[in-house]
Amino acid sequence: MPTRRNSIEGKLPFTTASAHLAGLGGDDAARLAMVAGDITLVLDAAGRIVDVAANPREFPEAGGWTGREWLDTVTVESRPKVMEMLSAMRKGVTQHWRQVNLISGEGDIPVRFVTVSLGATGCLAIGRDMRDEAALQQRMLQAQQSLERDYIRLRQLEARYRLLFEQTVEPVLIVDADSFRIREANQAAHQVFRSRAGALLGGKLTALFANPVREQVIAFLGSAMVSQGLAPLDVALAQGGETVRLSANGFRERGGQFLLVRLLQTADAGRPDAGVTARVIESMPDAFVLTDAAMIIREANAAFVELVGAASAEQLRGQSLGDHVGRPGIDLDLIESQLAKHDSARNVMTVVGARDGFEGEPVELSAVRASGDPVCFGFVIRPVGRRLRDLPPTSDSPRSVEQLTELVGRMSLRDIVRESTDLIERLCIEAALEYTANNRASAAEILGLSRQSLYSKLHRYGLGNMADAED
């Protein structure tokens, strides 16, 4: 596209140019042309280059252009522009700057050219290097694309948060810490307070509780803003007098202070064995965690809090179990499939705290699915690092099937069979199939193979054919 930038069109001409520039000689004109651009070409009437002035460090090929057609020094896409500039110059049309790409061994060089007629002898083609400007435009484009990606990511996160916030069965409210006014409330919270959808927004949280406990609620919310891990508070609702268990966590957003308030029903508090069961689970030496059907943590004992390095159980509630246990896309998916089929999973080898290149602490996990409404999962997790350290080093070939199967799931197939025989490879595949309940796709992920490679090895060892594998 032509550009009027730096064009002579529309500019006031010199009033006495002949008087001031009459003494301009050839050397002076040459210096003027060299100052006007980073590269200057002297062209004859046919468009052939007869002389060149340029910095050899910036334009290393320019010294060999003398005697060549100007068209031969530019890329294919830029040739129509050069032809238009030469044609306009011959017709005496006012010239505008046009960007063309010069051919170079180090890559195309963007240059903005304008032609100045020298009469019947030819013209000057004055060019300005656009590489710095092109690099700046590229950085601006990359920054814009990065901002757009961040914006899309934020929109996706907001959509996920909104879906989780509205679909969770636990009553949750977002409350302004200064005024105790409700900013957000999910559907479950409206049901607890027997309000229609949206009626809670803007109202005061303290007004929803019975008068005798409102001072306790205010003190509790104030403490929650400055302290983590407070014990939940049992309070009575203003309507119906039902008792609920109130918990809160403070956070900051856009310079303001807010509270994440959660309400738990206390219908089971009257059972005589409920408190004993809770104390036993809390004192267990093995880690215990209770999740909902979406693997979101609802309860965790002290051993699990210590195992994952959290500050308190309150900090873990509402987080995904996959953020702390298992390798992404493998372990918990396998455990969930076993729970769906058998309602339990026993002695599954996995890891805790795998992130940022750290393979995680090896643990042994058992799980059970509690049917009913809502569905929940219970997990018992036991560290087995000391037991694994007593195993023979993996650099030596395993001496028994038991030693070999202990390695499956903790390292890829390539590392296992590096110094092993075809027999060991077959034993590894058999162990992986048993570990994944004969799930070929999951076995391929554990072994570090593609599905096609696993199917080929199954056929090779007579462990299954391609049709069975596809089924």
CATH number at residue 350: 3.30.450.20
Are 36 and 113 spatial neighbours (Cβ–Cβ below 8 Å)? no
Shared domain check, 449 and 379: no
Shared domain check, 275 and 253: no
CA 288-291-295 angle, to 5 degrees, is: 120
Shared domain check, 285 and 374: yes
Query: For residue 68, what are the domain limits?
Result: 17-129
Q: How many CA atoms lie within 13 A of 148 on its CB side?
A: 6
Predicted local distance difference test score (pLDDT) of residue 29: 72
**Which ranges of the chain have pLDDT less than 70?**
1-25, 94, 266-275, 329, 356-357, 385-423, 464-471
Task: Summarize pLDDT for 317-372 with one digit per residue, the tens.
Answer: 888 888 888 877 677 888 888 888 888 888 888 888 877 667 778 889 999 988 77
Are 71 and 47 spatial neighbours (Cβ–Cβ below 8 Å)? yes
Predicted local distance difference test score (pLDDT) of residue 461: 78
Neighbours of 28 (CB within 10 A): 11
State CA 247 to chain mean position distance.
Answer: 31
The pTM (predicted TM-score) of the whole model is 0.36
Among the candidates 242, 267, 292, a domain finishes at 267
Shared domain check, 107 and 123: yes
Shared domain check, 425 and 373: no
Shared domain check, 209 and 237: yes
Shared domain check, 292 and 278: yes
Predicted local distance difference test score (pLDDT) of residue 422: 66
Are 404 and 431 spatial neighbours (Cβ–Cβ below 8 Å)? yes
Residues in the chain, overall count:
471
Are 387 and 354 spatial neighbours (Cβ–Cβ below 8 Å)? no
Predicted local distance difference test score (pLDDT) of residue 275: 59
Q: Which of 9, 1, 17, 10 is nearest to 95 (CA)?
A: 9
Shared domain check, 442 and 397: yes
Shared domain check, 336 and 396: no
Predicted local distance difference test score (pLDDT) of residue 315: 84
d(CA 77, CA 325): 56
Predicted local distance difference test score (pLDDT) of residue 7: 56
Shared domain check, 376 and 321: yes
Are 79 and 87 spatial neighbours (Cβ–Cβ below 8 Å)? no
- Please name every residue paired with 99 in a beta bridge, in sequence order, or none if there are none: 112
* Per-residue CA distances from 433 to 164, 398, 419 (Å): 35, 19, 22
Predicted local distance difference test score (pLDDT) of residue 359: 72
Q: Are strands 233-236 and 172-176 parallel, antiparallel or unpaired?
A: unpaired
Predicted local distance difference test score (pLDDT) of residue 181: 93
Shared domain check, 346 and 441: no
Predicted local distance difference test score (pLDDT) of residue 146: 92
Domain count, the chain: 4
